[in-house]
Structure 1
């Protein structure tokens, strides 16, 4: 919980949480937007986030229960890359659609058929991009049973993935409800905070 409060303060202080009218990658409209793309610009906070994610994975499924890490571009891929380095696991990523040049791959990287793949992304909303990644991985003869995200918006991602027998875990629990009611006791913004 200590990391979550610190992380909420960091995101708030650095304008990574915005209120207004936003179109999400899911196509849904939202009164708020969480931009985790700024986190790697703050290496100390980014490292804490990745280490917290690694600890959660170790606690929930164990670091020996997956062979490689996968993500979808772009924000989740940065997190997955850092996690792959920390856990010394191979990394692959899944394109939303095959590229129309070169090898025309949907999955970039190389791992063996039957590999147990851990799926990582930044923010979960409806879960559709994660589900598409699960389907692409399974179509390529890989095993996917678990996905980890940093923030869950609680708009159906867990239920959608559960329908495909994939468990979804997140670092933050009811992050937005705590933020909206200021249960983190956030101080007024005063510039960049690393």
Structure 2
């Protein structure tokens, strides 16, 4: 499936209009419900089939951020054989008390995986936490970049964002 066809399928499946408050606090009248494309096995397969090409070659671990990044990271792991960790917003306070569940990340080259990125605020918080646990991180993958011009804050934290789609691409694919 080519890029434009996939963009149209994602838009047809997940595009909503109305009034939506984003995690960043911004209000938008356009919204892509990531769970609608993440819960569709054939669509998720096509998304990660294209997204896997953007994984840096030296990646040793994929880190799916709670909650939307986890299905994407898991599907990428299944397609690439790269181990995955599941990253909580904060370490759980019982059991193992871990922030990142799964394989060891200390000293490993980790690529953060997120579904939709607006300002990158949660990515920065989670990356800082993972770095405190010894992860080496300079790359982030996402399915949808809502505002490509607003990534200076990620660059300030030595993070390069690689997205499959921009919001404009998806909106432009709507028929």
In structure 2, the partner of 1:120 is 113
| Separation in 2, partners of 1:176, 1:40 | 17
In structure 1, the partner of 2:21 is 23
Residues 45, 115 of structure 1: alpha-carbon distance in 2 compared, 3 angstrom cutoff: same
Conserved? CA contact 2:147–2:167, under 8 Å: no
The structure where strand makes up a greater share of residues is 2
Gap runs ≥5 in structure 1: 188-194
**Runs of 4+ in structure 1 over 4 Å off:** none
| Separation in 2, partners of 1:141, 1:178 | 36
TM-score by length of 1: 0.81
| Separation in 1, partners of 2:105, 2:139 | 18
1:111 to 104, 121, 128: 104
- Per the alignment, in what secondary structure is the counterpart of residue 147 of structure 2? coil
Deviation at 1:171, TM superposition (A): 0.8
| Separation in 2, partners of 1:44, 1:106 | 30
- Per the alignment, in what secondary structure is the counterpart of residue 97 of structure 2? coil
TM-score by length of 2: 0.90
In structure 2, the partner of 1:50 is 48
In structure 2, the partner of 1:33 is 31
| Separation in 1, partners of 2:49, 2:137 | 22
Conserved? CA contact 1:128–1:157, under 8 Å: no
Deviation at 1:135, TM superposition (A): 0.3
Cα deviations by residue, 1:80-104 (Å, 9 ceiling, x for unpaired): 0011121111111221122232222
1:133 to 126, 133, 142: 126
Gap runs ≥5 in structure 2: none
- Per the alignment, in what secondary structure is the counterpart of residue 171 of structure 1? strand
In structure 2, the partner of 1:69 is 62
